[in-house]
Chains A and B, each alone.
Chain A
Amino acid sequence: MKNYIKYIGILALGMVACEPEFENPVDANDAYTSGEADFSNFVAIGNSITSGYADNALYISAQEASYPNIMAQQFAKVGGGDFTQPLMADNYGGFLIAGEQRANTRLVLAFDNEGNPMPKNLNETPTTEITNVLSGPFNNMGVPGMKSFHLFAEGYGNAANLEAGTANPYFVRFASAPNATILGDAVAQNPTFFSLWIGKNDILSFATSGGTGIAQTGNLDASSYDSDDITDSQLFAGVYSQVVDALIAAGAEEGVVNAVPDVTVAPFFTRVPYAPLDPTNPEFGPMIPTLNASFAGLNQIISAVRNTQEFDAEGNKIADTEFTIEFDPAGASPLVIKDESLTDISAQIKGALMQAGYPEAVAEQYGQQYGQVRQATPGDRVLLTSASAISEIDMEVLAAWMAVGLSQEEAGQLSVRGITLPMADRYVLTTDEVEILNTARTQFNTAIQGIAQSKGLAYVDVNEIIQELASGGIPYDEGTLTAEFATGGAFSLDGIHLTPRASALLANRMIDAINETYGATVPKVNISNYGTITVSNNVAQ
Chain B
Amino acid sequence: MRKFLFLAVFALASAVTYAGGYRVSVQGQRALAMGHTGVAVVNSAELGFFNPSGLVYLENKLTISAGASAIFSDVAWQNQETGDIARTDNPVGTPFYINASYKLRDWVSVGLSVYTPYGSTVEWEQDWPGSHLVNNIELQAIYVQPLVSVKVTDFLSLGGGPIFVTGAVNFNRNLTRTLTDEEGNRSNVTVDASGVNEWGWSASAMFVASDDLKFGVNYRSEIMMNAEGGSADFENIPNSPMTPFRDTTFDASLPLPAELTVGASYQFDDKWLFAFDFNRTFWEVYRSLDLDFADPNIPDSKNPRNYKDSNTWRFGAQYTATDKLVLRAGYYYDESPVQEGYFAPETPRNDSMGFTGGLSLDVTSKLAIDASFAYIRFDEVDATYSPDPQEFPEYQGAPFGGTYKSVAFIPGLGVTYKL
A positions within 8 Å CB-CB of B: 1, 4-5, 8, 11-12, 15-16, 18-27, 31-32, 60-61, 64, 74, 77, 91, 108-111, 115, 122, 477-478, 500-501, 523-526, 528-532, 534-538
Contacts and interface: CB of A to CB of B under 8 A. Distances in A.
A526 B238 CA distance: 24
B365 interface: no
B403 A122 contact: no
A111 B82 contact: no
Given A26-B85, A31-B83, A32-B83, A531 B179 contact: yes
B134 to A, nearest CB: 15
Contacts of A15: 72, 409, 411
B252 interface: no
A61 B183 CA distance: 8
Interface string B54-95: 000000000000000010101110111111110100001000
A19 B363 CA distance: 35
Contacts of B240: 109-111, 535-537
A21 B405 contact: yes
B242 A535 contact: yes
Contact of A26 (B83, B87, B184, B243): B83
Nearest to B397: A478
A157 B371 CA distance: 72
Closest 8 CB pairs of A and B: A61-B184, A531-B178, A523-B83, A15-B409, A535-B240, A478-B398, A20-B405, A477-B398
A537 to B, nearest CB: 5
A478 B84 CA distance: 19
A98 to B, nearest CB: 26
B83 A77 contact: yes
B180 A524 contact: no
A32 B241 CA distance: 44
B211 interface: no
Contacts of A115: 241
7 contacts: A15-B411, A20-B75, A22-B76, A91-B182, A478-B397, A529-B178, A530-B178
B87 A19 contact: yes
Contacts, number: 121
A530 B405 CA distance: 26
Given A22-B380, A523-B82, A4 B371 contact: yes
Contacts of B76: 19-22
A11 B178 contact: no
B182 A536 contact: yes
A115 B182 CA distance: 19
A25 B81 CA distance: 12
Contact of B239 (A21, A32, A77, A538): A538
Contacts of A531: 178-180
B373 interface: yes
Given A12-B411, A523-B82, A23 B380 contact: yes
A531 B185 CA distance: 12
Nearest to A73: B83
A27 B80 CA distance: 10
Interface string B207-244: 00000000000000000000000000000001111110
Contact of B411 (A1, A8, A525): A8
Contact of A18 (B78, B182, B380, B409): B409
Interface in B160-181: 177-180
Contacts of B177: 478, 528-529
A411 B399 CA distance: 61
Contact of B184 (A20, A60, A525, A526): A60
B18 to A, nearest CB: 13
B78 A16 contact: no
**Which of A15, A22, A23, A528 has the largest count of B CB atoms less than 10 A from its CB?**
A15
Contact of A20 (B79, B80, B369, B406): B406
B63 to A, nearest CB: 21
Given A16-B92, A111-B242, 16 more contacts: A4-B361, A12-B411, A15-B411, A16-B72, A18-B407, A20-B74, A21-B405, A23-B380, A25-B78, A26-B79, A64-B184, A111-B241, A526-B81, A535-B243, A536-B182, A536-B238
A525 B407 CA distance: 28
Contacts of B87: 19-20
B137 interface: no
Given A4-B371, A19-B407, A529-B178, A91 B183 contact: yes
B129 interface: yes
B385 to A, nearest CB: 12
Tell which of A21, A77, A115, A531 has the most Cβ of chain B within 10 Å: A531
Contacts of B405: 20-22
Given A22-B380, A478-B398, A529-B129, A1 B363 contact: yes
Contact of B82 (A21, A64, A525): A525
The interface centre, meaning the residue of B72, B74, B79, B406 with most chain A CB atoms within 10 A of its CB, is B72
Nearest to A77: B83
B413 interface: yes
Contacts of A22: 76, 78, 380, 403, 405
**Max chain B C-beta neighbours (<10 A), residue from A5, A23, A26:** A26
A528 B380 CA distance: 26
Contacts of A61: 180, 183-184
Contacts of A537: 239-241
A145 B374 CA distance: 63
Interface in B75-119: 75-76, 78-85, 87, 92
A37 to B, nearest CB: 16
Contacts of A111: 240-242
Interface string B363-396: 1000001010100001010000000000000000
